[in-house]
Amino acid sequence: MPELAEVEFYRKVWDCGLKQKITAIQLHGEKRIFRGLNPAQLEKKLRGATLLDSRAHGKQMLFHFSGNAWLGIHLGMTGKLLANAPEFSPGKHDHLVLFQQKQTLVFYDPRQFGRIVFDESRDEPAWWKKLPPPLSSPAFSFPRTDAFLQSHRKAPIKSVLLLQDGFPGIGNWMADEILWQAKIYPHGACGNLDAAKRKMIFKKTRAVANAAMKTIGKDFSDPPKTWLFSHRWKRKSPCPRCAMPLKFSEIGGRTTCWCPACQKEKG
């Protein structure tokens, strides 16, 4: 479920636990969520630690605790962060549960495509420092984006927008939104796009990301009604721009929603 703005929203759900100690922990250490790490060590390190601050970057989140402890969380397809009452009793999909005096911080993920990582270091962990430039940063530039498109020129543009090394935080609905706003045919190889279209992709990526942050990222409110966003979920919807019935097809294994009139293969 979560892309850039949803991730930012969920990160802030745990803000109610800032500056407070973890009094107890419950986790499902054998679950896929914890693949590749030692849950006992995480548990030992976080018990009694204080949540100091947090940040989000694309679809990644990082929570900083006292004792040089860093908890990384990816929400996968169905992950959520929740804040529940102190006496909360975890259900079967509540894979990491951090009890505090005033509330209980919960990572819930039924499908378990999400992931927990854990690091001990004074500074931010190395994997975090290596993340690509955020969409809102000056380092996310047109030349960089253009070079990225060039390096994937044989792949359909829809698939390329989903690659996190070039477009960190973009997910399925945002990719479709960008292409619909830019009036670009989603199946086309990105090497065939002219300079104006490539520039439009860059501009719309920033615009969609910024606007999503101000609505979904702020309070989970809907982005503008003029977007494809609110129309794409129900099948048989007309294009909000030209009223032509929207099309659905599969690109790179993902459902893609697009307008056959606005997003033509040629032109």
Partner DNA sequence: CGAGATGTTCGGCT
Partner DNA sequence: AAGCCGAACATCTC
Q: Name which of 44 and 218 has its Cβ closer to DNA.
A: 218
Judged by beta carbon, residue 88 or residue 113, the one nearer DNA is: 113
Choose, by CB under 7 A, the member of 13, 37, 77, 207 that binds DNA.
77
Minimal distance, residue 119 CB to DNA, in Å: 15
**Using CB atoms within 10 A of its CB, is residue 35 exposed (0-12), middle (13-18) or buried (19+)?**
exposed
Nearest to 87 by CA among 144, 141, 26, 139: 26
User: Within a 10 A sphere around the Cβ of 145, how many other Cβ atoms?
Assistant: 21
Which residue in 11, 45, 57, 74 binds DNA (CB under 7 A)? 74
| Distance from chain centroid for Cα 35 | 20
- Of positions 29, 125, 252, 260, contacts DNA by CB under 7 A: 252
**SS3 state at 241:** coil
Q: What is the C-alpha to C-alpha distance for residues 79 and 60, in angstroms, rounded to an integer? A: 12
User: Are β-strands 247-251 and 80-84 bridged in parallel, bridged antiparallel, or unpaired?
Assistant: unpaired
Chosen residue from 122, 129, 195, 253 binding DNA by CB under 7 A: 253
Should residue 227 be labelled a site residue for DNA when binding is judged by CB under 7 A?
A: no
Would you count residue 152 as binding DNA (CB under 7 A)? yes
For the segment 27-66, give every residue that binds DNA (CB under 7 A): 32, 58-59
First to last CA, the chain: 33
Binding residue (CB under 7 A) for DNA from 11, 45, 57, 93: 93
For the CB of residue 2, give the shortest distance to DNA in the complex, in Å. Answer: 5
Of positions 153, 214, 218, 264, contacts DNA by CB under 7 A: 153
10 phi and psi angles, rounded to 5 deg: -65, -35
Check binding of 249 to DNA (CB under 7 A).
no
